[in-house]
Amino acid sequence: MSGTGAFNGDPRLKAQALADLKAGGHPGWNIEATTDEREALAQNYGLTASFLSLVIMPRDAGPREAAISQALSAVEPGADADGIVRDWLLSVWSHPGYGPASRLRQTPAFAPAQAIAEAIRQGGSAPPTAKTWRELRKALLAAGPLGSDQAGYAAVMASMAWDPTTAPTLGGDVWVAWERAVNNERGVAHGWPLARQDELFEALRHCMAQTWKALGAPPTDASPADLAAHEAHVQARTQACMEEKGLVEDQKALFAFFEDEMRPLLADRGPAAFKTILDACARGGRSAGP
Amino acid sequence: MVDFPEVGEARFQAEVLGAQIPVIVEFTNDGCGLCRVMEPALASVAQEYDGEVRVVKVDTDRSPDLAERYNVRSVPQLFMFVGGELKARLLGMQTRGAMAQMIEANLGDAA
């Protein structure tokens, strides 16, 4: 980033960035962009790769392009893009609804997690060395015991504790860690920690793969009726495979859990989490310390 | 872009199961978008633990037998082997923090 801050301090460059985003003109806007592509995009518009990785990641706030556009629009030319990321990390830490601070408060992980937050707070003027980040992370991960719901929040803080110059996707990485921690917490409360969900889906994929191997694809000239019959056959055979594994009831329970618990959670957490990004963008990194 | 060494069936025994230091194996393939999103995080971790942990990848299309042996039906997946023993498995996209959690929890076993 140049010394003049976000968009090189130029409102016209900000307008160009928004137009480029709308046109899908640069591969760096893509969520699967390489680090080089993301850094080139950041260079074009006086931003940083870590900041871009943060605003490009959210998935719960409607169309991605609209979400990125909203976030960029909230950034004043000249703002401190890396300061915005630090500010956002701190707002995640202390978020009143879903923050790691409240979840870890009564655990041995609280003090080391708080030390990470403090290091982030000081990062603008006195960036910790890679060695210090590792020590902070190690202290956090050695602190226990933690429940599996709390371990997810420890992973959020462990995802923050990296040197941003060597971890250019840090913002997006923490977003994912936070999302997973909140989802996992709800899952743990209802007997469906993420690891158990992942294993069940893996079993389902195993059954589907076996079914496709046995049945093959429908003929390319199959009629709509034949395709429907084939699809029904695939589903029945996949379900039979799940039944053989004794997982049909689990599958039903998991789908009910998604409907009853995860849907309302996502409806609340998605906008709340996205707001933390918009707020940090609007503050321009000024409250993250010098 | 980081190019982790690819290990196939022929070298898996020597480079993973017989390795002197812990090995993280990323099961991936060319069509895996989440693997591309996760790659910078994995690269940071590989850099951070260089000399203590080795990171390699297995392409599930080119090494279907390995995918079958370890019941890998989706990618990405990370496996951590210590002294030839499978110690941890993470399904789906992972963050730096989750990877560090896995490593720190199992590095002691390597001593």
pLDDT mean over B33-61:
94
pLDDT, residue A289, reads 47
The DSSP result for A105-140, as a single string, is: TTSTTHHHHHHHHHHHHHTTTSPPPHHHHHHHHHHH
The DSSP result for A38-68, as a single string, is: HHHHHHHTT--HHHHHHHH---SSS-HHHHH
Task: Based on the fold, state whether residues A42 and A113 are members of the same structural domain.
Answer: no
- Torsion sign over Cα B8, B11, B15, B18: positive
Task: Based on the fold, state whether residues A98 and A160 are members of the same structural domain.
Answer: yes
Cβ of A162 within 8 Å of Cβ of B96? The answer is yes
- Measured at the CA of B46, the angle between CA A153 and CA A80, to 5 degrees, comes to 60
User: Residue B2 pLDDT more than 80?
Assistant: no
pLDDT bin (cut points 50, 70, 90) of residue A59 is low
- Measured at the CA of B3, the angle between CA B2 and CA B5, to 5 degrees, comes to 140
pLDDT, residue A287, reads 64
Determine which of A49-58, A104-113, A215-224, B10-19 has the lowest per-residue pLDDT on average. A215-224
A274 lies in a domain? no
pLDDT mean over B51-59:
97
Residues of A with CB below 8 A from B50's CB? none
Number of domains in chain A: 3
pLDDT mean over A24-44:
92
Cβ of A206 within 8 Å of Cβ of B71? The answer is yes
By CA distance, what is A181's nearest residue in B? B98
Domains of chain B from N-terminus onward: 9-104 (3.40.30.10)
DSSP structural state of residue B75: S
Run of H or E including A194: helix A194-215
User: CB-side exposure of A140: number of CA atoms within 13 Å?
Assistant: 34
Catalytic option among B7, B35, B46, B53: B35
Three-state secondary-structure class, residue A212: helix
Residues of A with CB below 8 A from B75's CB? none
Residue A74 identity (one-letter amino acid): A
Distance CA B67, CA A198 (A): 17
Task: Based on the fold, state whether residues A36 and A133 are members of the same structural domain.
Answer: no
Of the candidates A158, A205, A209, the beta carbon closest to that of B101 is on A158
Of the candidates A130, A156, A205, the beta carbon closest to that of B73 is on A205
User: Residue A2 pLDDT more than 70?
Assistant: no
Task: Based on the fold, state whether residues A128 and A206 are members of the same structural domain.
Answer: no
Q: Is B42 among the residues known to form the active site?
A: no
A284 lies in a domain? no
Task: Based on the fold, state whether residues A47 and A100 are members of the same structural domain.
Answer: no
Determine which of A90-99, A168-177, B78-87 has the lowest per-residue pLDDT on average. A168-177
Tens-digit pLDDT profile for residues A106-146: 999 999 999 999 999 998 788 899 999 999 999 999 998 89
Q: Is B67 among the residues known to form the active site?
A: no
Tens-digit pLDDT profile for residues A153-162: 999 999 999 9
Task: Based on the fold, state whether residues A10 and A60 are members of the same structural domain.
Answer: yes
pLDDT, residue A144, reads 83
Give the CA distances from residue B60 to residues A195, A215, B34, B49, B94, in Å, rounded to whole numbers and listed in that order.
21, 22, 15, 25, 18
- Measured at the CA of A196, the angle between CA A190 and CA A199, to 5 degrees, comes to 150
List Cβ<8 Å contacts ≥24 apart for A196-200.
Answer: A197/A254, A198/B91, A198/B92, A199/B91, A200/A247, A200/A250, A200/A251, A200/A254
Task: Based on the fold, state whether residues A125 and A180 are members of the same structural domain.
Answer: yes
Range of the domain at A25: 6-74
